[in-house]
Amino acid sequence: MHILVGQGNPDAKYLRNRHNFGFQVLDAIAADHGFGPWRGKFQSQVSEGRVGGQKVLLMKPETYYNETGRAAQAAIKFYKLSAEDVTIFHDEIDLAPGRLRVKRGGGHSGNNGIRSMIAHVGAEVRRIRMGVGHPGDKSRVMPYVLADFAKADEAWRDAMIDACSRALPMLFEHGDERFQTEVMRLAPAPKHDPKQA
């Protein structure tokens, strides 16, 4: 079994926020791949299904963004899995809008959700870092990520969500680099302001 975790906040008011990019991807995966209904378990909304030959649990933690790791840890213990069996989808301000990078290991780069995952699960979780750009000043980061995507961003955001879902079988069958390449082929990043990340 593999666990896919989305980072986000559970209340309806956060639904379309940049910080809920991970939840948005998981919703698409559940719909596109015929997963079962969402239900409450492991302090999360979870949905089960298969991608190719891989059994997959989708998790949208209800612990709020900064405590993502606590919910993921509960599922890992229950299924007797390890950090290597977990992939987390999250927004990334250090990547330009529409860029995507897959990473394992390393630090949290100031992302409190990833900090929680490292603390509770381990550094070797696979991170699908989905670029949302940087607002330009550190003091503006929190209101920026807790705001909805701008209208101008919706086309590339929707394309990336669709590409992550469509390319998911490649993640399990061919690995991180092939998945990353396929997502960027399906959803090329938009031209962006050079002042942004």
What are the strands, taking DSSP E only, across 7-151?
39-41, 44-51, 54-61, 86-92, 100-104, 126-131
Whether residue 2 lies in the annotated active site? no
Cβ neighbour number for residue 140 with a 10 Å cutoff = 12
* Active-site choice (19, 33, 120, 134): 19
Q: How many CA atoms lie within 13 A of 116 on its CB side?
A: 21
Residues sharing a CB contact under 8 Å with residue 119, sequence separation 6 or more, in sequence order: 69
In this structure, what token pair is assigned to residue 31? 């719909």
**114: alpha, beta or left? (left if phi > 0; alpha if psi -120 to 50):** alpha
Tokens 């559940």 belong to residue = 30
Q: How many CA atoms lie within 13 A of 103 on its CB side?
A: 17
8 A C-beta contact, residue 3 and residue 59: yes
Query: Active-site residue numbers?
Result: 19
